[in-house]
Structure formats: C-alpha cells, structure tokens
Amino acid sequence: MMEVEHAPLDGLLVLRPKVFRDDRGWFIESFNAATFGAAAGIGPRFAQDNESCSQAGVVRGLHFQAVPHAQGKLVRVVKGAVLDVCVDIRRGSPTFGQHFKILLDGEEKVMLWVPEGFAHGFRTLENDTIFSYKCTAPYHPPSERTLLWNDPALAIDWGIADPVLSAKDRAGLTLAALAPTL
C-alpha cells in the first residue's frame, strides 16, 4: 500500500508507503517491483543499492551520470532527516533548470522517485543521518557529473551558508557550464 503524488517537475514522484506501527515498532515495504511498477510507474530493474551516513550540515550533490549511463534513483531516509533537492537537467524540458525540494525523514518514511534527467542532492538535518537509494544503473566514474550545489542561477535555498562539502562537490560546475553537454 502506497500513496503516490506527482511533484511539480514532471517525472518526480513522492511515495508515501503505509507504515504499520505497533508496540514492537514499525514495518514498511520499501520496494516491491509489482506494486511500485503498477502504482507508481517505476518499472526499471535496479542495478545497485547505496547508503550513506552523514552528520548534520553536510551537503552531498548535486550529482548525476551522463547518458548512456544515466541513473534513476529511488531515495529514502532510514534514520535522521534531509532536505532533498532535485534539479531538472533535461534539455528541452519546460522546467529545465528548475528545482524541487522535499523533507525526507526516518519517521515519516516518505520516498522520492528521481528519474533519469535530474541532478540530485541532499542536506543532512540531523547527526548520523542514514540515506539509502536504489539506482537503475551502476556507478560509472567516467560518466559522473556534479552540478554546483550553490549555482546562483538555480536559486536553491539549502538553509545553510557554509555546509560540509567534499572536494568533488566544491568543484561542481554551474548549469550554464554543463548545459552544452546535457
């Protein structure tokens, strides 16, 4: 059982699974090929699962892989909370360069389907946040790209001025610099 909402950017889906809670704790179905495919149109086979743990104030992203190694991602927070951000990088899309933000946390269990054609990242809001995602294609280092998290043209309010960043994320390119290669 799952509620499916279409986000304002075409292709992004907010998935609200049924959470079964009792005095023992809780249970959710985090993925089911038949029901997710039928209910949400998420039909691709997943090739890789990833998980990260981060302290509060970390920004990871905005990442994507270039075609033909582009990835769709089914993302969720296992523990903690993030501000999740997706940027439409599909050339010719009416929402090219626009972004969508959503709070994902380990309590509500909301998931997000991020199809190919989006750069994706998140900011951790709590220490020891565990972020999990299923990818439709394996990691392919030569195809990896990073869109600059604070590109002024994107006008993303991350709610933090000086996040903890990797060297790769500090060196991301602006959308204008990446656009000719998309």
* Domain of residue 113, CATH code: 2.60.120.10
Q: Is 0.85 surpassed by the pTM of this model?
A: yes
**Residue 86 lies in domain:** 2-181
Give just the sign of the alpha carbon dihedral 45, 1, 13, 148.
Answer: negative
Element (H, E) at 167: helix 167-170
Share of the chain above pLDDT 90, in %: 82
pLDDT in tens, 117-153: 999 999 999 999 999 999 999 999 999 999 999 999 9
pLDDT class for 61, splitting at 50, 70, 90?
A: very high
Residue 139 is among the residues annotated as catalytic for this protein: no
- Asked if residue 166 lies in contact with residue 149, where contact means CB atoms within 8 angstroms, the answer is no
- pLDDT(54) > 80: yes
Query: How many structural domains are present in the chain?
Result: 1
Q: How far apart are the first and last CA of the chain?
A: 36
Catalytic residue among 6, 63, 99, 120: 63
Q: What are the structure tokens assigned to 75, written together?
A: 């993302």
Q: What are the structure tokens assigned to 78, written together?
A: 């296992």
Catalytic residue among 69, 99, 120, 133: 133
